[in-house]
Amino acid sequence: MAKRFVSIWFPYLRTDWFARHERILDEAPVVLVCPDHGRMIVTAANAIAQSQGIDIGTVLADARVIVPFLQVFDDKPNISDKLLNSLAEWCIRFSPSVGIDLPDGLILDATGCAHLWGSETSYIQSIRTRLKKLGYDNRVAIADTIGCAWAISHFGKTSFIIETGQQATALLTLPPSALRLDADIEERLHKLGLHHIKHFIGMPRSALRRRFGRQFLQKLDLALGYEEEVIQSVHPIEPYQERLPCLEPIITATGIEIALQRLLETLCYRLQHEEKGIRAAVFKCYRVDGKVEKIEIGTNHSTHNIKHLFKLFEIKLPTIEPALGIDLFILEAPKVEKISPLQEKLWEKVYDLDNARLSELLDRLAGKMGANSIHRYLPDEHYWPERSMKLASSLQEKPTTTWKIDKPRPLQLLSNPEPIEVTAPIPDYPPMLFRYKAKLHKVVKADGPERIEQEWWLQEGLHRDYYCVEDEEGCRYWLFRSGHYSADKSYKWFIHGFFA
């Protein structure tokens, strides 16, 4: 498929932005000014002001003499960059790859896009009309190369659609500045009487190189397609992305669900053939007012199960606000992983963490309660109980050690031991009484001690002597004394868990 590029030029970008916020300026001469060596100089002028003889570089005092009722505004620094970034985001509805062409244009990679509008004529006309409704005067051209599309959008006078392979013919009648040349090269060309591209396009390349340099030939080659030019897109295209533009804006929940279903079917069919599955996906809805609504999902296992993925999105679909309508839907999978089919046993069922149904259940629970509401823990190489486990990064993470199950451990373990007041005989007897949260507990049964030493590689704290105790109400607790029993009362007692 031949490459096709669209160039969009905004001749009055900054003044159009001011006019969008003040509709009374649509029919008025408007200029933007900034100080320069003690004078105010015109830095931008709209079409009305230019038709009355005011152009960039005119001194403001002179401009006021020419047009007494001139509307003057202070130029804002970096406003062009911000406007073009915003417009590039908006133009993603016409192409997945949109680049900024400073100071007043955009470049779109339109390869394979125009057929969605029926033809390149409808495609170009739709871009022009939609941008005009936004309040921006524009010129749009499409060609095989970025250089040719740029030249036609800035200097073309008749056809703005250049057929495949016809860029050389389209450039012949244009001035040298259509090649995006430096000002000094343009001046030298005009001094030599080379006022149009046709005057020098057939000259020997060696002569052109000696006279105008290698950069001149490179600009010519870029426009003719002899060298490839790459767009620096505002959003790098995800390798796994599907788009669904709409001829009419979608405003109903049913329409949004149908769009999501179609995109999932297309993307999952592709992933299935590549033996890959989704781990994270983003559903983006581009509204006609320029805003983007999006929802995201994640999965514990890579999957291309359409029904399951749709259920994960379905929980969040009510948060999408279509407003005046959505005219573009995009589904992206920024994180995909290889799917290794598990061989199931004929007479046995698998209920471990690799079970697909368990993974899908966890995905749905995470979608309803939040991903941070579900945790999985693995054993860790530590002596102290509160350090003997770690949070697993995923269901697939394998433990590096085994759980300690040779001695009893409480059902509920406090993340940090809490101090208690204890009455205990000496030297190493379990406590007789202990007070926890202002409640006195009388110990009727006790087992221990179990000594857990200080972790030598950390050198923190003292050794611990743990006791399993039961009070008169039948509740069981896990207590410990930190350090050796001594007469100076330097030791402390703590509660660390509850058995039941």
Q: 208-231 pLDDT, tens per residue?
A: 999 999 999 999 999 999 999 988
Q: Which helix (H) or strand (E) holds 359?
A: helix 356-369
Please state whether beta strands 139-143 and 241-250 pair in parallel, antiparallel, or not at all (unpaired).
Answer: unpaired
Claim to verify: residue 276 and residue 201 sit in the same structural domain: no
Q: Which helix (H) or strand (E) holds 369?
A: helix 356-369
Claim to verify: residue 429 and residue 478 sit in the same structural domain: yes
Claim to verify: residue 107 and residue 229 sit in the same structural domain: yes
Extract the tokens encoding 408.
């009893």
Claim to verify: residue 4 and residue 110 sit in the same structural domain: yes
Claim to verify: residue 264 and residue 211 sit in the same structural domain: no
Extract the tokens encoding 437.
């949260």
Closest CA to 283 of 296, 267, 269, 270: 296
The answer to whether residue 56 is domain-embedded is: no
For residues 140 and 153, is the Cβ–Cβ distance under 8 A? yes
Residue 123: the pLDDT is 93
Claim to verify: residue 142 and residue 200 sit in the same structural domain: yes
Closest CA to 383 of 449, 464, 448: 464
User: How far is residue 233's CA from residue 97's CA, in Å, rounded to a whole number?
Assistant: 5
Q: How many other CB atoms are there within 10 angstroms of residue 351's CB atom?
A: 9
For residue 389, what are the β-bridge partners? Answer: 379
In terms of residues, how long is the chain? 500
Residue 418: the pLDDT is 94
Q: Reduced to 3 states, what is the DSSP secondary structure of residue 383?
A: coil
The answer to whether residue 389 is domain-embedded is: no
Extract the tokens encoding 244.
């669904």
For residue 293, what are the β-bridge partners? Answer: 285
* CATH label of the domain that carries residue 230: 3.30.70.270
Closest CA to 155 of 87, 192, 86, 105: 105
| Contact residues for 487 (Cβ-Cβ < 8 A; gap 6+) | none
The answer to whether residue 167 is domain-embedded is: yes
User: How far is residue 499's CA from residue 471's CA, in Å, rounded to a whole number?
Assistant: 12
The last residue of one of the domains, among 304, 338, 372, is: 338
Claim to verify: residue 11 and residue 79 sit in the same structural domain: yes
Q: Which helix (H) or strand (E) holds 328?
A: strand 326-338
The answer to whether residue 74 is domain-embedded is: yes
Give the lowest-confidence range in 124-133, 317-326, 335-344: 335-344
* pLDDT confidence tier of residue 480, bands split at 50, 70 and 90: very high
* pLDDT confidence tier of residue 490, bands split at 50, 70 and 90: low
**Nearest 5°: phi and psi at 54?**
-105, 125
Give the domain extent around 275.
Answer: 241-338
The last residue of one of the domains, among 234, 264, 290, is: 234
Whether pLDDT at 366 is above 80: no
Residue 160: the pLDDT is 92
Claim to verify: residue 201 and residue 312 sit in the same structural domain: no
Claim to verify: residue 107 and residue 208 sit in the same structural domain: yes
Residue 354: the pLDDT is 60
Average pLDDT, the chain: 88
| Contact residues for 429 (Cβ-Cβ < 8 A; gap 6+) | none
Q: What torsion, rounded to 10 degrees, do the Cα atoms 419, 422, 427, 430 define?
A: -90
Whether pLDDT at 98 is above 70: yes
Q: Which amino acid is at 105?
A: G
User: How far is residue 192's CA from residue 173's CA, in Å, rounded to a whole number?
Assistant: 17
pLDDT tens string 241-281: 999 988 889 999 999 999 999 999 999 999 999 989 998 99
Claim to verify: residue 324 and residue 469 sit in the same structural domain: no
Q: Give the residue-averaged pLDDT of 290-305.
A: 88
* CATH label of the domain that carries residue 306: 3.30.1490.100
Domain count for the chain, please give it: 3
The answer to whether residue 63 is domain-embedded is: no
Closest CA to 181 of 142, 141, 154, 207: 154
For residue 150, what are the β-bridge partners? Answer: none
Claim to verify: residue 7 and residue 82 sit in the same structural domain: yes
The alpha carbons of the chain give a radius of gyration, in whole angstroms, of 36
The answer to whether residue 398 is domain-embedded is: no
For residues 324 and 283, is the Cβ–Cβ distance under 8 A? no
The answer to whether residue 356 is domain-embedded is: no
Claim to verify: residue 245 and residue 167 sit in the same structural domain: no
Extract the tokens encoding 236.
């790098």
* pLDDT confidence tier of residue 347, bands split at 50, 70 and 90: very low
Helices (H), 274-319: 306-314
The answer to whether residue 54 is domain-embedded is: no
User: How far is residue 16's CA from residue 493's CA, in Å, rounded to a whole number?
Assistant: 75
Share of the chain above pLDDT 70, in %: 93
Sequence-separated contacts (24+) of 16-23 with Cβ below 8 Å: 16/46, 16/135, 16/136, 16/137, 17/79, 17/83, 17/135, 17/136, 18/73, 19/46, 19/135, 20/134, 20/135, 20/136
Q: How many other CB atoms are there within 10 angstroms of residue 465's CB atom?
A: 21
Q: Name the more confident of 293 and 344.
A: 293
The last residue of one of the domains, among 182, 209, 234, is: 234
